[in-house]
Structure 1
């Protein structure tokens, strides 16, 4: 074992002691974060508009600061992007993270000099937690790859602008720079397919030990590695590849396909980064859930998902959350986001320590008939049947069909790209439907009451979702296919990809 691996074990022990403080003192740390944030921002434009100087507790805060999504906060953010200082947070942001919103077009998320280090610390601690728990540190002696956006930054009124992953690339610790791939030149390639091909060429003969990225785009990298190597499995190309770090989407629908192309089961670490903040990471292999970062400059709030669209929904902080209940996640951050609805839904699987799983998007659901089916339910229904049937699902999305052919009942229409297909697609669809009925009582009632007919599955051509995302200009990076839509915008685009 090389010196770097030995030192990483010692450092991991030290960091784990810090994490134990987080695990044991979450509520006190959240209260301190709340107090510090309010005090720091009281003289900003937002702080003055919302009487931060008069806020003494969380109840005061809720009275003064409403829940907002990006569109609601846009007037303040536009002042920031026009170069005004002291708007949402003291001074100007260090960066603006550029993201693509499904309803808001291009969004600019401020990242401050206080919030940026938290992204790096959380990513580092995820790896060190793995080393501390497992004793496996050999990956630090080999090559590591982070499939990410271009690190080339533009400028807007003196503020650096780029994708989050590209911004983070400028802050990779020096001790990892020698091991890091791809090269800077390759990382700067904007076209995703050209970039993946260049990464394959650059890494094919390297000692890759850690690979990180959003699962669908890592899958593309693995598939092209296999082609370039004459059909080899990834484990045979990279014999020392032992750790996969992923985030951005639920990994379970991809796991079987990824393990098939890798040729083995390997350890993985799930992370929950967002442009708005690094929220949680998997700190233990043996336990479910991601450790919530309660001391990272984010004060969290939660709204029960089934109340989110109410006029006056319940709004709570960490001390009042319940296990196994879906919540919309609300952030208040050291970059100046206040009462900010991230759009994600989570649920707590532990309160000692506080651990979460991501269950979907608050606006990604189907409730055309009052069923309010959510992402977690469709993913679990599909993957449970796929696993039992030995079926390989590459990607999928679901939409309601409210105007079926004459004489037919409405239904949920599923568009699935399979690796290996079910022998009987109709029987497969009925099993998925039965599984979904068990997950959602409202859906069960609609089927039983003959309001809906059982779901229909469409088999899609190979590379459908890659081609669809390419057609939308969203191939690669942090872009993801919505699994659920309450309209047919995506579904109608996919009709032309259905296999005969």
Structure 2
């Protein structure tokens, strides 16, 4: 009998029963007031008159009217770069202990995003709240006695002057609560290994010694880790070595493109729970099994604003025009994509994180991530967002009985002077590229009326190239680094796409 598991599960259920339900709108008003009060004496707070904003009758309007939008380049140039020189009290009190390195999906150059102690505390609290939400899922008591595999970047953080640097997954893993350490795998020693291949090999070597009940990480790298364990131990599926694996906590990218290939590694179905943890903070997590949407963390260190995702508000580079209107949680609507804007306890202010979201339940503040502002494909008026691309790829998987875990696309002008959507799809099966191209085109015409209009005008057609999925992982390894928070760029500009095609040719 799972005595400890029953105790933990019972505590979680009791905690959920007696917890008062958060009013997201009121919680957000309180978060904004706390952020402004805490930072009013920083350089940023004095420059933008936080004291005056706090005295306003309409705090949210005064805040949005006084402070401009910041993307990473703007806030780093004007404010965060001073932190690299050791300055204190710049955009948040004190000096951050950590900086999260993030190249995202756009290139080799790492961003350095401050991670304060307040943000570490906020991430821990959001994680605890997510654990409490497991009471809504039908999990057996013994699940709460099993170990948890967290596969992120190395926890061996690098010293740089008076702070430590690493990817956010490595920073958070190095700050796990003491009571959680006995559950945490692969453990401190293996987690410190910087070389991805060596770390995964060590995981495979030790896999038989662990009783894993849950795994967490970016889908593409989790898949590679599971494949390595299966291959190393000559298994048919991962449940032959981890029979009690019940939960996968996905994050970083949409899970849907990986769903079919991921399930092929399992012996039986498991519960998949989506999370939204970025370098800038823990934004949202799936709080109930009836939906795959995630609930915004509205009461814990992050204030959210939302800009309608319309071409007239977004520049070619994905940043917002200064006049783009922002609304609060109180005024959002269903069936509308928004550019997400955040202000946080790490000193990010009206910060364009680069993601687009859509609300599925306004009362619960539940969202889905629909894509990236930089990955919005509108070169010839097609207005394709990543979620529409993901949906089309799922339909291709069904139509051709195949798995397509990776893809990238470019609106490219070919030799005839016409624009085509050039797709590279990662598949193991021997498919007819022309048939796949026609089916993909048809799916998108049905899913997106703007795409259908573009296909009758400026967009000449679709060209599909089928390649080994491993080439995508090698591209990431060559351009960034294996594992961790590294994600494949779904949409490339023509210059980047030319580099991609040269790289693909070199792998043939």
CA deviation string 1:173-199 (max 9, x = no partner)? 223211221132211111111111111
SS of 2:336's partner is coil
- The alignment status of 1:193 with 2:200, answered yes or no, reads no
Aligned position for 2:71: 69
SS of 1:279's partner is strand
Aligned position for 1:158: 162
- 1: CA distance, partners of 2:348 / 2:324: 20
- The alignment status of 1:31 with 2:35, answered yes or no, reads no
Aligned position for 1:413: 422
- 1: CA distance, partners of 2:62 / 2:190: 50
Query: 1:199-238 maps to which residues of 2 (within 5 A)?
Result: 199-238=203-242
Note if contact 1:367-1:486 (Cα within 8 Å) is conserved in structure 2.
Answer: no
Aligned position for 2:115: 111
Aligned position for 1:46: 44
Aligned position for 1:447: 455
- The alignment status of 1:278 with 2:286, answered yes or no, reads no
Note if contact 1:12-1:132 (Cα within 8 Å) is conserved in structure 2.
Answer: no
Aligned position for 2:318: none
1:10: how far off? Answer: 2.7
State the superposition RMSD in angstroms. Answer: 2.0
Which sections of structure 1, spanning at least 5 residues, go unmatched? Answer: none
Structure 1 stretches of 4+ moved >4 Å? 17-20
1:231: how far off? Answer: 4.0
Q: 1:480 aligns with which of 478, 487, 498?
A: 487
- The alignment status of 1:388 with 2:395, answered yes or no, reads no
Count of paired positions:
494
- The alignment status of 1:369 with 2:380, answered yes or no, reads yes
- The alignment status of 1:460 with 2:464, answered yes or no, reads no
- 2: CA distance, partners of 1:488 / 1:254: 27
- The alignment status of 1:308 with 2:310, answered yes or no, reads no
1:161: how far off? Answer: 2.4
1:12: how far off? Answer: 1.5
Note if contact 1:417-1:460 (Cα within 8 Å) is conserved in structure 2.
Answer: yes
Note if contact 2:150-2:215 (Cα within 8 Å) is conserved in structure 1.
Answer: yes
SS of 1:96's partner is strand
1:491: how far off? Answer: 5.2
SS of 2:440's partner is helix
Which sections of structure 2, spanning at least 5 residues, go unmatched? Answer: 316-320
Aligned position for 1:257: 261
- 2: CA distance, partners of 1:182 / 1:20: 36
- 1: CA distance, partners of 2:3 / 2:235: 36
CA deviation string 1:314-347 (max 9, x = no partner)? 2111111111211110001111110100011111
Aligned position for 1:85: 88
Over 3 Å counting, the alpha-carbon distance change for 1:136 and 1:27 in structure 2 is: same
- 2: CA distance, partners of 1:18 / 1:293: 19
SS of 1:257's partner is helix
Bigger drift between 435-444 and 209-218 goes to 435-444
Note if contact 2:6-2:142 (Cα within 8 Å) is conserved in structure 1.
Answer: no
- 1: CA distance, partners of 2:70 / 2:330: 22
**Scaled by the length of structure 2, what TM-score is found?**
0.92
1:20: how far off? Answer: 5.0
- 1: CA distance, partners of 2:295 / 2:288: 9
Aligned position for 2:435: 427
- 2: CA distance, partners of 1:246 / 1:127: 14
- The alignment status of 1:489 with 2:496, answered yes or no, reads yes
Aligned position for 2:153: 149
- 1: CA distance, partners of 2:430 / 2:122: 43
1:372: how far off? Answer: 2.6
Note if contact 1:98-1:161 (Cα within 8 Å) is conserved in structure 2.
Answer: yes
1:76: how far off? Answer: 0.8
Note if contact 1:130-1:136 (Cα within 8 Å) is conserved in structure 2.
Answer: no
1:142: how far off? Answer: 2.1
**Scaled by the length of structure 1, what TM-score is found?**
0.94
Over 3 Å counting, the alpha-carbon distance change for 1:176 and 1:140 in structure 2 is: farther
Note if contact 2:407-2:426 (Cα within 8 Å) is conserved in structure 1.
Answer: yes
- 1: CA distance, partners of 2:369 / 2:469: 28
1:301: how far off? Answer: 0.6
Aligned position for 2:478: 471
Query: 1:91-130 maps to which residues of 2 (within 5 A)?
Result: 91-101=94-104, 102=106, 105-130=109-134
SS of 2:245's partner is coil
Note if contact 2:480-2:486 (Cα within 8 Å) is conserved in structure 1.
Answer: no
SS of 2:118's partner is coil
- 2: CA distance, partners of 1:63 / 1:208: 50
- 2: CA distance, partners of 1:149 / 1:318: 33
Over 3 Å counting, the alpha-carbon distance change for 1:220 and 1:325 in structure 2 is: same
